[in-house]
Amino acid sequence: MSNKPASEKDWGAIQRETAQKAHASQVASLELELKHTKDALERIKKVPAVRVPAPRAPDARKSGDIVRVCIPDTHGAKIDKAALAALLTDLKALDPHEIILLGDHVDCGGFLAQHHVMGYVAETAYSYEDDIAHANAFLDAVQKAAPRAKIEYLEGNHERRVETWAVTQTLRHSRDSEGLRLLYAPEHRLSLAARGITYFRESVQYDSLPVPGVIKRGKCFFMHGMSTAKNAVTATLAKIGGNVVFAHTHRAQSEVVRLVGAGVIGGWNPGCLCALQPLWQHTSPTDWTHGYGVQLVSPSGAFLHLNIPIIDGKTNFASLFTL
């Protein structure tokens, strides 16, 4: 018979009972966790295996594949020689089949100052003859660097200044103004016909398109430009409704969108190849950049467009072809 008080016996029994309940609760919890794990394993076994497509071999280059280069504004005597040197280096490496000159390759200053924007008079120190000489040298260099390329030249708003001037000088008589344009227009002063370069005027419609100064090659439209907005690519895509490459703003931009009626389309502006800070912008730093465009085009007209930036006179693009 125990000599411990009844109270001590009750406390020991309570402790054992509490320990037994805690152990039973822990066992139940582990059993439930094990059941959940088994259920999860069964669900995993029933999930079909995910099959990732194997990478396919790249399509072989077809005989009809071409390389097309798009060259933006150079502005004649205002051309940036370091940027031009970078372009010429890449042209030799690319050996393009086609070159599209996007316009404003002559600045058309000098005696055409009456058709400049306000403040442009500061840029009239050079002559129109200097302007034409630089543009001719530019075309000579391009044709030498890419001797087999078919070259097409889109008239820009600066080349069109000559036509505007001719109309003004002849009091708008069409025959006289055309005669004056034939004497002075860049199209003729650059001997484009003799060079084998096709010229497209901003006032003429081409390729059965409703807007003048625009051409279509494959699945892409080309023009000098129709917007100077901050988001000029967005504005141009909205008006064209198709793939488009243009220049004019001197700002490199690109955008790819998906439209209900046109599907996936893109717009590109490669920048410019002229001075980035002209005198008439001396109080307002520009956001212009140097560059040009490259298109890898398949026989179907489908293409890959690349904007190639030129930074401090270098692209690091031609080196890809010598690896």
Q: What CATH number does residue 303 fall under?
A: 3.60.21.10
Of 206 and 24, the one with more pLDDT? 206
The pairing of strands 198-200 and 215-217 is: unpaired
When pLDDT is averaged across residues 54-70 and rounded to a whole number, the result is 83
Q: Does any domain span residue 2?
A: no
Residue 78: pLDDT above 70?
A: yes
Give pLDDT, residue 2: 54
What long-range pairs does 232-237 form, CB within 8 A, spacing at least 24?
232/269, 233/267, 233/268, 233/269, 234/267, 236/267, 237/265, 237/266, 237/267
**109 within 8 A of 126, measured Cβ to Cβ:** yes
- Containing structural domain, residue 219: 66-322
Please tell me the distance from the alpha carbon of residue 59 to that of residue 300, in angstroms, as a whole number: 14
Q: 42 and 159, same structural domain?
A: no
Local structure of residue 55 (DSSP, 8 states): P
Please tell me the distance from the alpha carbon of residue 276 to that of residue 291, in angstroms, as a whole number: 12
Q: Does any domain span residue 61?
A: no
Give pLDDT, residue 126: 74
Q: Does any domain span residue 4?
A: no
Q: 288 and 258, same structural domain?
A: yes
Which secondary-structure segment (H or E) carries 87?
helix 81-94
Q: 248 and 129, same structural domain?
A: yes
Q: Does any domain span residue 59?
A: no
Give pLDDT, residue 125: 67
Residue 174: pLDDT above 90?
A: no
List the structure tokens of 14: 């309570």
pLDDT digits (tens, 9 = 90+) for 123-155: 556 788 889 999 999 999 999 999 999 999 999
**124 within 8 A of 96, measured Cβ to Cβ:** no
Low-confidence winner among 3-7, 21-25, 97-101, 171-175 (lowest mean pLDDT): 3-7
Q: Does any domain span residue 310?
A: yes
Q: 35 and 159, same structural domain?
A: no
Q: 239 and 161, same structural domain?
A: yes
164: helix, strand or coil: helix
Of 190 and 5, the one with more pLDDT? 190
Beta strand extents in 38-158 (DSSP E only)? 66-71, 98-101, 150-154
Q: What does the angle CA 218 – CA 198 – CA 90 come to, to the nearest 5 degrees? A: 70
When pLDDT is averaged across residues 206-219 and rounded to a whole number, the result is 96
Please tell me the distance from the alpha carbon of residue 38 to that of residue 279, in angstroms, as a whole number: 78
Give pLDDT, residue 166: 83
Under the banding of pLDDT at 50, 70 and 90, the label for residue 199 is very high
Q: 313 and 255, same structural domain?
A: yes
When pLDDT is averaged across residues 248-259 and rounded to a whole number, the result is 96
Q: Does any domain span residue 60?
A: no
Q: 133 and 35, same structural domain?
A: no
Q: Does any domain span residue 115?
A: yes
Q: Which of 214, 226, 232, 210 is nearest to 287 (CA)?
A: 232
Sequence-distant (6+) residues with CB within 8 A of 135 are 74, 76, 105, 106, 186, 190
When pLDDT is averaged across residues 13-19 and rounded to a whole number, the result is 81
Give pLDDT, residue 308: 97
Q: Based on the structure, what is the number of domains in the chain?
A: 2
Strand order in the sheet with 244-245: 215-217, 220-222, 244-245, 263-269, 253-259
**307 within 8 A of 268, measured Cβ to Cβ:** yes
Residue 211: pLDDT above 60?
A: yes
Give pLDDT, residue 123: 59
Please identify which residue in the block is written with the tokens 């999860």. 40
Please tell me the distance from the alpha carbon of residue 89 to that of residue 102, in angstroms, as a whole number: 19
Q: 305 and 262, same structural domain?
A: yes
Q: Does any domain span residue 5?
A: no
Q: 250 and 107, same structural domain?
A: yes
When pLDDT is averaged across residues 294-323 and rounded to a whole number, the result is 89
Q: Which of 99, 75, 74, 100 is nearest to 85 (CA)?
A: 74
When pLDDT is averaged across residues 18-26 and rounded to a whole number, the result is 85
Which secondary-structure segment (H or E) carries 132?
helix 128-145
Q: What is the mean pLDDT of the chain?
A: 88
Backbone angles phi, psi at 182, to 5 degrees: -65, -30
